[in-house]
Amino acid sequence: MNTGTSELLAPAGDFDTALAAFKAGADAVYCGLLDFSARQFARNFSADELSALMRYARANGKKVYVTFNTIIDEAKLDDAVKSLAELEDIGPDAIIVQDLGVAAIARKYFPGLALHASTQLVAHNLEGVLSLKELGFSRVVLARELSLQEVASIAKRCGVELECFIHGALCYSLSGLCLFSAMEKGRSGNRGRCAYCCRMQEGSIHPYSMKDMRLGGDARRLAEAGVASLKIEGRMKSPLYVASVVKYYRDILDGAKPCVTEADLESVFSRRTTKLYLDGRAGGSEVIDAESVGHIGTKIGTVKRITRDREGRSWLRFHTLRALEKHDGLQFMPVSGGKPLGFGIGEMRKAISRHAVFETMAGDDVEVLLPEGEEGEELRRSIRQGDGVYCSMSNAVKRRFPVPSFRSSDWPGVKKIDVALEIAPGSVSAKATCGELAVSVSVSGVFAPANNPGATFPAAEKAFSRLGDSVYSLGNLSIVDADRLFVPMGVMNALRRDIVSALDAKREELKSAKIASVRIPESDCGEIVPRLTVKVRPDQPLPGEGYAEIVVAMMSFGKEDVEAVRSCAEKAKTLAPSVRISLPPYVPEMEFNKMRIAAKGLVRLGFDKWEVSGLGALRMLKALGVEDVSADWTLYAFNSASLASLAALGVKRFVASPENGAENLAYLAESGYDVELIANQTVPLFMSLTEPAAKESAGGRYRTYRLGRLWVTAKCEETHFGGREGVSARADFSWNEPGK
**How many C-beta atoms lie closer than 10 Å to residue 483's C-beta?**
12
Query: Is 176 inside any structural domain?
Result: no
723 has a pLDDT exceeding 80 = yes
Query: For strand 314-319 and strand 298-308, is the pairing parallel, antiparallel, or unpaired?
Result: antiparallel
Backbone angles phi, psi at 178, to 5 degrees: -105, 125
- Tell me, yes or no, whether 380 and 451 share the same domain: no
β-pair type (388-393, 609-612): unpaired
CA nearest to 677, candidates 643, 634, 633, 614: 633
pLDDT above 90 as % of the chain: 89
Q: pLDDT by residue (tens digit) across 568-609? A: 999 999 999 999 999 999 999 999 999 999 999 999 999 999
Q: Indicate which CATH number applies to the domain containing 378.
A: 2.40.30.10
Write the CATH number for 600. Answer: 3.20.20.220
Distance CA 383, CA 302 (A): 11
Same domain for 239 and 342, yes or no, is no
Is residue 123 located within the same domain as residue 250?
A: yes
Query: ∠ CA(726), CA(728), CA(730), 5° rounding?
Result: 140
The DSSP-derived string for 480-537 is E-TT-B---HHHHHHHHHHHHHHHHHHHHHHHHHHHHH--PPPP--------EEEEE-
| 298-308 vs 415-424, strand pairing mode | unpaired
**pLDDT tens column, 328-360:** 999 998 887 778 899 999 999 999 888 999 999
Claim to verify: residue 588 and residue 723 sit in the same structural domain: yes
Q: Are 466 and 561 members of one domain?
A: no
Domain for residue 702, yes or no? no
Which DSSP letter does residue 185 get?
A: I
Q: Same domain for 592 and 665?
A: yes
Instruction: Tell whether 12 and 159 lie within a shared domain.
Output: yes
pLDDT of residue 2: 38
Task: Please report whether residue 707 resides in a domain.
Answer: no
303 neighbors 384 (Cβ within 8 angstroms): yes
**Considering all CA atoms of the chain, what is the largest pairwise distance in Å, rounded to the nearest integer?**
101
Structural contact between residues 432 and 418, judged by C-beta atoms closer than 8 angstroms: yes
Question: What domain count does the chain have?
Answer: 4
CA angle 34, 35, 40 (to 5 degrees): 75
pLDDT at 409: 87
Same domain, 475 and 603: no
Domain of residue 43, residue span: 3-170+210-286
Rounded Cα gap, residues 263 and 299, in angstroms: 8
Residue range 268-292: average pLDDT? 87
Residues 90-101 pLDDT 10s: 999 999 999 999
Residue 28 resides in a domain: yes
What is the CATH number for 250?
Answer: 3.20.20.70
pLDDT tens readout for residues 613-630: 999 999 999 999 999 999
Neighbours of 26 (CB within 10 A): 27
User: Of 232, 260, 286, at which residue does a domain stop?
Assistant: 286
According to DSSP, the residues that pair with 302 across neighbouring strands are 388
Residue 417 has pLDDT above 90, yes or no: yes
Rg (CA), the chain: 31
Alpha-carbon span 350 to 356, nearest angstrom: 8
The average pLDDT across 414-432 equals 97
Is residue 204 assigned to a domain? no
Q: Is the distance from CB of 66 to CB of 11 less than 8 angstroms? A: no
Tell whether pTM > 0.85: yes
Q: Final residue of a domain: which of 509, 524, 558? A: 509
692 domain residue, yes or no = no
Give the contacts of 45 (CB within 8 A, at least 6 positions apart): 14, 15, 31, 32, 33, 34, 53, 66
Q: How far apart are CA 139 and CA 136, in angstroms?
A: 9
Together in a domain, 584 and 560: yes
Same domain? For 305 and 436 the reply is no
**Neighbouring residues of 602: CB distance < 8 A, sequence distance ≥ 6:** 562, 565, 566, 569, 581
Domain boundary among 400, 425, 457: 400
Q: How far apart are CA 143 and CA 123, in angstroms?
A: 6
Among 214, 212, 213, 219, CA closest to 250: 219
Question: Which stretches does DSSP call E strand in 37-101?
Answer: 63-68, 94-97
What percentage of the chain exceeds 70 in pLDDT? 98
Give just the sign of the alpha carbon dihedral 485, 486, 491, 493: positive
- The count of C-alpha atoms lying within 13 angstroms of the C-alpha of 108, restricted to the half-sphere facing its C-beta, is 15
71 and 219 part of one domain: yes
Same domain, 432 and 551: no
Whether 656 is covered by a domain: the verdict is: yes
Q: Which residue has the higher pLDDT, 689 or 280?
A: 689
